[in-house]
Amino acid sequence: MALGLGWRAFAPFPMNHCGVFLKAVRSNGLSLFPWGQSPWRGTGSFLDPEMKAFLEENTEVTSSGSLTPEIQLRLLTPRCKFWWQKADLWPYSEPYWAIYWPGGQALSRYLLDNPDVVRGKSVLDLGSGCGATAIAAKMSGASRILANDIDPVAGMAITLNCELNQLNPFPILTKNILDLEQDKWDLVVLGDMFYDEDLADHLHQWLKNCFWTHRTRVLIGDPGRPLFSGHSIQHQLHKVVEYSLPEPTRRENNGLTTSTVWDFQP
């Protein structure tokens, strides 16, 4: 289960995965927002039957090994063939959505334990991935939710995960929301997004604009990755809660042991 040096150099998150997750970064480098032509808004009506069948066949429904056993998710696990097979056989873009990252786990746990944070409020889940934090917000009574992820396959996975948890799918946007006119949200949540310096700087400015223009509350989940811990945003954060990560999550993330929810207060 060797981790290729090329992947180790460019992967957004340190991890111990193999197979599809060793897929080489495309020739133009790690493109931050390579999509944007086909935003999806609405419910499951956009599901492509072939892609849906592929995801159902090649992911595992699981609720174990994370901070939120209440939430079922379709993820890539060691019992999935693409965990082990050559990465080039995976027919879509790199499936970052297929891992339940520790920052997202902390945010989801916090919203489930503290439903008043989102009850009756509008919530944007930025970099939604598998959709777990948006699902947690829905379970906790949020009145309006938008899940944003640049990968259209993530959009489909989020819809499938809503169905797994007996929720009506919420709107999903697969454009780069950082380049769009800002909407008003009561709460913005984002986990595991501070993995690239340019992205971190862009996010920092965008989040400041959200806060000062709309008085939006911003919650950030992160397990203490170096780029996040060393970024200037640290001077504007208040620690809300820190969680000890379950052993399976620690193994999948190079031994990271905790994940923290931060309140952004510029």
**Highest mean predicted confidence (pLDDT) among 4-8, 84-88, 151-155:** 151-155
> Each residue of 1-27: pLDDT tens digit?
222 222 222 344 444 444 443 332 222
Q: Could you tell me the residue range of the domain that residue 90 belongs to?
A: 49-264
* CATH code, domain carrying 121: 3.40.50.150
Site of tokens 């809503």? 162
What radius of gyration, in Å, describes the C-alpha atoms of the chain? 17
Q: Is 19 a member of any domain?
A: no
Query: What's the number of domains the chain is made of?
Result: 1
Report the pLDDT value the prediction gives residue 238, as an integer from 0 to 100: 98
> Each residue of 217-252: pLDDT tens digit?
999 999 999 999 999 999 999 999 999 999 999 998
Distance CA 95, CA 154 (A): 8
> Each residue of 99-145: pLDDT tens digit?
999 999 999 999 999 999 999 999 999 999 999 999 999 999 999 99
Q: Are 133 and 104 in contact (CB under 8 A)?
A: yes
Which of 34 and 84 is assigned the larger pLDDT? 84
Report the pLDDT value the prediction gives residue 146, as an integer from 0 to 100: 97
Which of 84 and 3 is assigned the larger pLDDT? 84
Q: Is 142 a member of any domain?
A: yes
Q: Is 5 a member of any domain?
A: no
Q: Is 40 a member of any domain?
A: no
Give the pTM: 0.85
Return phi, psi of residue 240, to 5°.
-95, -50
Q: Is 193 a member of any domain?
A: yes
* Cβ contacts of 2 within 8 Å, gap of 6 or more: 18
- pLDDT band of residue 89 (cuts 50, 70, 90) is confident
